[in-house]
Structure 1
């Protein structure tokens, strides 16, 4: 009994019609009829009563159907495991902060694929803590996130320094200031990544709410395109990073650097300290650092 025979039988059983089964499977009706007859011969029993109205399952077919479905499901599952297991050796899983993929651009992936055609980059955008937890659970090879981080647990390789900055509509009253401070946010509507990110929580608690500043948190989102649309249409201030600002230069949006004691953070590619890296992972890290420098992306230019 072959998987194809099971699939043809299950489809014919479900449709009760050879022609509809053929259309669903993208094969000829003659092919289905022949395969079902071969299965009937193998089992020594008729599966369908055939008439001009279609197919009527026999009692034997009724009894066979649930077992056939289970067998086919198990076969597909095992085949899928085999395929995924083979691919896993060539997959590099990276948990990265939002907009990192956009900052790298499609060129990064094309260039990497040219040098490493058998390696698959699997990048999941996530908050910083989720990325680090994925590393600790060994569900990821790397995280790309900001510091500070525990260097007794993680190996940190800086890839660029990113400054805090804010986006405003060109007609916002604060748009004429050269730089903005936390105090400028008092009584303003703001939008940022949100409390799922350590940076947002730390800065809000220490420099904004902790200093008695009143802010109206308009929304907490990671989609920079939506955030900037709200900047233009609802006059909110978007608190972000300069690597995101570098990708969103628009004439009606003004980006301002933050005037504060701490102006930004290092962005790192992070791995687990006690994990032995695979060769393809070492290759990826070297490629990333070399590619960023070659394309002037290791320093943010606004």
Structure 2
């Protein structure tokens, strides 16, 4: 097989969808790195269904460096991926981090040099329906955004011809904050209410969501993101275009009793607000609630 070697760490909704898409395209040698063995991956997508059987490793022992690693674990599980990364990463390996939040390279400090990290903003909705069974929904004009540099363009080229793609974005900081704004309302509000995105259609939830967004927009501007005056309402309008029946990763984790990815989302906003001295009472309250829910699960 021509092409490159790609290891996908984490086979949740995002990682499983990516691995299945790459394997189905048949351009690269794909290795899945997961906790448990899987016979196949089934990917339901808007154009139909793909069933593939990529090789799966359940331990990093005996593996060799690859050209690309796609890190698709939750942000709080980055440290647990270190044994995989130490084995799979050689001097030329690039690591695409498909995680929520910002500061992707910092999470891998001491394991992967920052210049080898490609942060990716994921827009597509990947939902795990069962072991090895994924559903891919497209909710925006592009599946992922990456920095418009050599590494980012390299990742976009890696995905060319597959069911998911990546768009090099010149103003990546602004893109990252726009995605973070989406995540600090859609994820927490669906997780706490235990409802899919239909709950965002409620008037009272809309008022709360806009309050969270207004605070976070001020923080994002202080962090260097170019966010216009109507950014909060624009984000909410975008959310209203998403399928009401779609879940979020935090919603799925809450239902399953797993710890929540809160520090990379609401925690990031609150921490940045503290650095800049910006009051964010609504986000602080949400963070306290989310931590309580997550601690009960852990």
Same fold (TM over 0.5): no
The TM-score normalised by the length of structure 1 is 0.26
TM-score (norm 2): 0.26
Q: Which has the higher contact order (CA 8 A, sep 6+)?
A: 1
